[in-house]
């Protein structure tokens, strides 16, 4: 249940704040690219276009946590 609440909150943040959404999409795309490093750039772009909605949905909570962590680091520097 806690994971569902975190995912819902993260998805809400992505839908309401374009800056967070762009950062999280870039974060998840980079992570997915590392996981699929054997693909050519062209094949990966096709893969990303097709799987992006699923990846954005399932990775929302992790991406928003990473965004918040990164922003905390920048503020403390």
pTM for this structure? 0.85
pLDDT band at 76 (very low <50, low <70, confident <90, very high): confident
% of the chain with per-residue pLDDT over 90: 71
pLDDT tens-digit profile of 8-36? 888 888 889 999 999 999 999 999 999 99
Residue 38 pLDDT exceeds 80: yes
SS3 percent helix, strand, coil of the chain, rounded to 5, is: 90, 0, 10
Structural domain tally of the chain? 1
Rounded CA-CA distance 55/63 in Å is 10
- Structural domain including 50 reads 2-76
């Amino acid at each position: 249940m806690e994971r569902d609440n975190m995912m819902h909150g993260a998805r809400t943040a992505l839908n309401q704040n374009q800056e967070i959404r762009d950062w999280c999409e870039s974060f998840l795309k980079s992570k997915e690219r590392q996981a699929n490093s054997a693909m050519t750039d062209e094949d990966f772009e096709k893969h990303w276009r097709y799987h992006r909605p699923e990846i954005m949905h399932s990775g929302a909570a992790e991406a928003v946590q990473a965004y918040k962590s990164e922003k905390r680091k920048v503020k403390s520097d």
